[in-house]
Amino acid sequence: MTRVVFIILISFLSAQGFSQTSDLGNWLIYFGNKKIDKDWNWHHEVQYRNYNAIGDLEQFLLRTGIGYNLTENNNNILLGYGFINSQNYIPTTDEKKEVNEHRIYQQFITRQKIGRVNVQHRYRFEQRWIESQDFRMRFRYFLALNVPINNKEMIEKTFYL
């Protein structure tokens, strides 16, 4: 088992090394989900993405929303807003173009348990206003799988894959 995990990690690291053209980048991300009461929750996140380790801003993202639990732990709907500031390099120059975007989004999250595997599906529909002139819509899907390793359940001090 250890050998398989080691081979998978080496494969990802080598693929990562050949696919990058810049020296170093970094994403600093905070996700929060605060329970307001048994039915309502507040989602909030901050993402700070850099071309280099620090100080060469690529994208700054703020996202928040109010969610409602349709069932106790499995199904949640959410209405939210996001602000995104992107600073993209203009090809073949050292100049950047700054672009601001506002998003309204609706999402549905559902959770399931299949044996020891915890499954989460997120469906998100976004309405995007880029530089107040360009309107776009986008549908996004996110799948998360969590498998507890040292405990049968995901409790405190559980390691998971």
Model confidence, pTM: 0.76
Phi, psi of 142 (to 5 degrees): -130, 135
pLDDT of residue 5: 56
Q: Which of 98-112, 116-130, 144-158 has the lowest mean pLDDT?
A: 144-158
Does residue 15 sit within a domain? Answer: no
Spatial CB neighbours of 50, under 8 Å, sequence gap ≥ 6 = 25, 26, 27, 28, 56, 57, 58
d(CA 140, CA 62): 18
Does residue 60 sit within a domain? Answer: yes
C-alpha count within 13 angstroms, C-beta hemisphere, residue 30? 9
Asked if the model's pLDDT at residue 23 lies above 70, the reply is: no
The chain-wide mean pLDDT, for the chain, equals 86
pLDDT level of residue 73 (50, 70, 90 thresholds): confident
pLDDT level of residue 20 (50, 70, 90 thresholds): very low
- How far lies 19's CA from each of 13, 14, 61, in Å? 10, 9, 25
Element (H, E) at 136: strand 134-146
Domain that holds residue 132: 25-146
Does residue 88 sit within a domain? Answer: yes
Taking residue 101's Cβ as centre, other Cβ atoms within 10 Å add up to 19
Does residue 35 sit within a domain? Answer: yes
pLDDT level of residue 10 (50, 70, 90 thresholds): low
Q: What is the tally of structural domains in the chain?
A: 1
Does residue 155 sit within a domain? Answer: no
Would you say 121 and 109 are in contact if contact means Cβ atoms under 8 Å apart? Answer: yes
Does residue 116 sit within a domain? Answer: yes
Does residue 153 sit within a domain? Answer: no
pLDDT of residue 13: 57
Across the range 117-137, mean pLDDT stands at: 93
Does residue 32 sit within a domain? Answer: yes
